[in-house]
Amino acid sequence: MAENQSGSGADKLVYFLVGAGIGAITALLFAPKSGSELRSDIADATRKGLDYARDASREVGERASDYYQTGVERASDLTARGKEAVNDLTDRGKDLISRQKGQFAAAIEAGKQGYREAKKADQGKTSAAVEES
C-alpha cells in the first residue's frame, strides 16, 4: 500500500529543524570539550533556537494579520456590492410600481369617463323617449 506522502513544506521544515537540533545536541554531548565550553555551546544553540522561534512566530503573526486584513477588505467590498445591488433592485421596483400606478390610474379614469359618457347617452335616450310619448 502507498503511504500518504502529501505533507506540507512547513511540516517537513519543522521535522528537519527538530532533527537538526537533536543532532546538534548529540554532537555537543559527545564532543571532546570541557564542561564550561559544552554548557556555553548548549546555551548558544538554545539562544539561536529561541531567536529563530521568535522570528518565525513574528512572521506567522504578520502573515495572519495580512490575511485578516485581506479578509476584512473582501468582506467590506462584498457588503458594499450587496448593498448596491439591493438599492438598485429597490429603485427598479419603485420605478416599476410608479409606472404601473400611473397606468392603473389612467385606466380607472378612462373607465370613469366611459361610465359618464354612457350615463349621459342613456339619459339622452330616456329624455328623447319621454318627449316622444
pLDDT at 78: 95
Query: For residues 88 and 97, what is the distance between their CA atoms, to the nearest angstrom?
Result: 14
pLDDT at 62: 93
Q: Does residue 119 have a pLDDT over 70?
A: yes
Q: What is the pLDDT of residues 12-64, one digit of tens each?
A: 888 888 888 888 778 777 767 677 887 887 888 889 988 988 998 899 999 99
Predicted TM-score (pTM) of this structure: 0.44
Query: For residues 19 and 59, what is the distance between their CA atoms, to the nearest angstrom?
Result: 22
pLDDT at 131: 65
Q: What is the pLDDT of residues 84-97, one digit of tens each?
A: 999 999 999 998 88
Query: For residues 19 and 13, what is the distance between their CA atoms, to the nearest angstrom?
Result: 10
pLDDT band, very low/low/confident/very high, at 2 (cuts 50, 70, 90): very low
Burial 81-118 (b: 16+ CB within 10 A, else e): eeeeeeeeeeeeeeeeeeeeeeeeeeeeeeeeeeeeee
Please report the beta strands in 1-133, taking only residues with DSSP state E, as ranges in sequence order.
none
Q: Which residue has the higher pLDDT, 13 or 75?
A: 75
Q: What is the pLDDT of residues 107-117, one digit of tens each?
A: 899 889 988 88
Query: For residues 45 and 28, what is the distance between their CA atoms, to the nearest angstrom?
Result: 10
